Structure 1
Amino acid sequence: MAFQILVNIIIAVIWLFLQNSFTVTGFIVGYLVGMIILFILRRFLVFDFYLQRVWAIFKLILLFISELIKANLDVVKIVLSPKLNNKPGIVAVPTKLESNVEITLLAALISLTPGTVSMEFSDDSKTIYIHALHVPNKDEFIDSIHNSFERAIMEVTR
């Protein structure tokens, strides 16, 4: 991905020299021309187009922001309720993630979301133990982790 971005920037700079116009607009046009060239070349060379991964990173950030807002509202609802009806619990969440970077990113995203904390990993790093402020159903909680953060992380890293 980094190599493709570098090639795209080089194409944009070459575009500036060919146009003999060193402006920001000329650079942006050259960058867009470079994106088109790389998009066409992906069919002939063996690499994925880097904007797919950039789009996946953007979706992961948006997913985290939406989960952050939802979790904040849930925590406010629990704190402001007159009776404590929450069911805290520790849930063992098995994960399909393989690399240490993926597992660490999942644990960080879970810990940054209010109401949940990643406590520990299993010895084989295939299970994350999570303490949650409100867990009415453990299976739904595990499915929500798999269908949100874990899937988005796999889109970014694979």
Structure 2
Amino acid sequence: MALQILLNVLLAFVWMFLSASFNASTFIVGYILGLLIIFMLRRYFHSRFYVIPFLVICKLILIFLKELLLSNIAVLKVILAPSMNIQPCIFALPLEVKKDWEITVLSNLITLTPGTLVVDVSEDRNTLYVHALDAPNVEETIKQIKESFEKTILEVSK
């Protein structure tokens, strides 16, 4: 992937020299042309096209922002309710992610979402223990985390 990025920047500079214009707009046009060339020649590289992980990371950020907004609203409803009608719990979240950085990213995303906190990781790194402020249906909460955060993290690491 680093080779593809370096090649793309090199192609952008070659475009600047060929067009004899040394400004940012010429570099951007050269970068886009280099991107198209690398996309057409992607089967000759050992790694996948380098833009795909970037797009998946953008998707992960959008999913996190959506979950952040929804959980903020849910916590606000709990705080503003006249009575504390919550069902806090600690549950075990079985993991499909295996690499250390994947577990760290998942743990941080869960912890940064209001109303949830990762308490511990099991010794074998197959389970996260998560505290939820209000989780009336634990299975639904686990399913939601697995289908949003964990699935997208697995897409990034392909």
The residue aligned with 1:95 is 95
The residue aligned with 2:139 is 139
The residue aligned with 1:109 is 109
The residue aligned with 2:73 is 73
Name the aligned partner's letter for residue 13 of structure 2.
V
Give the TM-score of the pair, scaled to structure 1.
Answer: 0.97
Task: State the secondary structure of the residue aligned to 1:25.
Answer: helix
* 1:138 to partner: Cα distance: 1.0
The residue aligned with 2:26 is 26
- Which region of structure 1 is more displaced relative to structure 2, 46-55 or 25-34? 46-55
Give the TM-score of the pair, scaled to structure 2.
Answer: 0.97
Task: State the secondary structure of the residue aligned to 2:92.
Answer: strand
* 1:46 to partner: Cα distance: 2.8
* 1:39 to partner: Cα distance: 0.2
* 1:50 to partner: Cα distance: 0.9
User: In structure 2, what is the Cα distance between the partners aligned to 1:86 and 1:58?
Assistant: 33
Name the aligned partner's letter for residue 3 of structure 2.
F
The residue aligned with 2:47 is 47
Name the aligned partner's letter for residue 157 of structure 1.
S
The residue aligned with 2:57 is 57
**Deviations 1:20-65, CA, capped at 9 Å, x for gaps:** 1101111011001110111011123332111111100100000111
**Deviations 1:120-146, CA, capped at 9 Å, x for gaps:** 001101100000001111111110110
In the alignment, structure 2 segments of 5+ residues that lack a partner are none
Task: State the secondary structure of the residue aligned to 1:43.
Answer: helix
Name the aligned partner's letter for residue 63 of structure 2.
L
The residue aligned with 2:155 is 155
In the alignment, structure 1 segments of 5+ residues that lack a partner are none
Aligned length: 158
Q: Alignment RMSD, CA only?
A: 0.9
The residue aligned with 2:13 is 13
Percent identity (aligned)? 46
